[in-house]
Amino acid sequence: MIEAAHYSPSGARHKAAFALPAEVFDGEVNEPVLHQAIKTYLNNQRQGTAMTKTRSFVSGGNQKPWKQKGTGRARSGSTRSPIWRGGGIVFGPIPRDYRSGIPRKVRQLARRSALNARAREGGLFVVDPITYETPKTKLLAGMLEKMGLEGKKVLVLANGQNRNLYLSGRNIPTARVMTFADASAYDVLWSEAVVVEQGALSGEQGIGESGDQRPAKPAARRKPVAKAKAKPAAKAAKHALSAREGKAPAKKPAAKKPAAKKKKER
């Protein structure tokens, strides 16, 4: 079982060390897989937009510089030839895509190997959940200083989207803050020390965008029941009086339609 130093958010070290979960920290470091993952990551960062002009893209050179024979010079057909100054470039770079893929399980194995490498050399630290009410770079910098990590490249892995923690570490040039799930093998190997929140290793609930604990899912809203339209007060009183007397309310006589006019006979 691999153990790591355990700290509080203020930078005070606990007496007992933190036992790292065995399903992730098994102590094995696969170097060939690490090399493949890092090479793939760096290849995917390349833009691939470099380009040089060949003789077909360089302006000029339509006319033959001199006649073919009789001058004593070597024959030449264009001043834009690669052997001429100002001519085109031979076999220069052209825009291309450098991206390469890697299997998902290989990428996960490389990530575990990188974390194991940092844990075995004592470069992995566990800290209690960091909850800042407001972003404050001074608090995070003070914690790293008390932990003895000042001036080192530090990777802080949060348990979920902790916005206040991210904004607190954004102004520290040697620190990088991201979620534990988003960290790659390159990010772990880039850092000299890895600081992980305890909840990310023990599987506790993460922090929401605002820095508070994630609220439970709201209950499904019920559709409002359509209410019957209230009758006017006069009609309601009339119906109530009729009900007491046992009589049905009198209905208004239907309006008579006007009689159709007879057509005059011619």
In this predicted model, what pLDDT tens digit does every residue of 101-115 receive, in sequence order?
Answer: 999 999 999 999 999
pLDDT over threshold 50, residue 213? no
Return the percentage of the chain with pLDDT > 70, whole number. Answer: 77
pLDDT of residue 202: 83
pLDDT, tens digit, 9 for 90 and up, residues 116-138: 999 999 999 999 999 999 999 99
pLDDT, tens digit, 9 for 90 and up, residues 81-102: 999 999 999 999 999 999 999 9
pLDDT over threshold 50, residue 210? no
pLDDT of residue 204: 73
Residue 41, CB half-sphere, CA atoms under 13 Å: how many? Answer: 18
Structure tokens at 45: 């960062």
Contact (CB, 8 A) for 145 and 216? no
Contact (CB, 8 A) for 106 and 33? yes
Segment 7-33 mean pLDDT:
92
CATH topology assigned to domain 3-34+102-202: Ribosomal Protein L4; Chain: A; (3.40.1370)
Name the pLDDT band for 71 (thresholds 50, 70, 90): very high
pLDDT of residue 62: 86
Mean pLDDT score across all residues of the chain: 85
Cα distance between residue 49 and residue 175, in whole Å: 30
Name the pLDDT band for 255 (thresholds 50, 70, 90): low
Would you kindly state where each structural domain of the chain is located, as residue ranges? 3-34+102-202
Q: Are strands 18-19 and 3-7 parallel, antiparallel or unpaired?
A: antiparallel
pLDDT over threshold 80, residue 261? no
Contact (CB, 8 A) for 179 and 158? yes
pLDDT of residue 47: 93
Give the residues across from 194 on adjacent strands.
124, 155
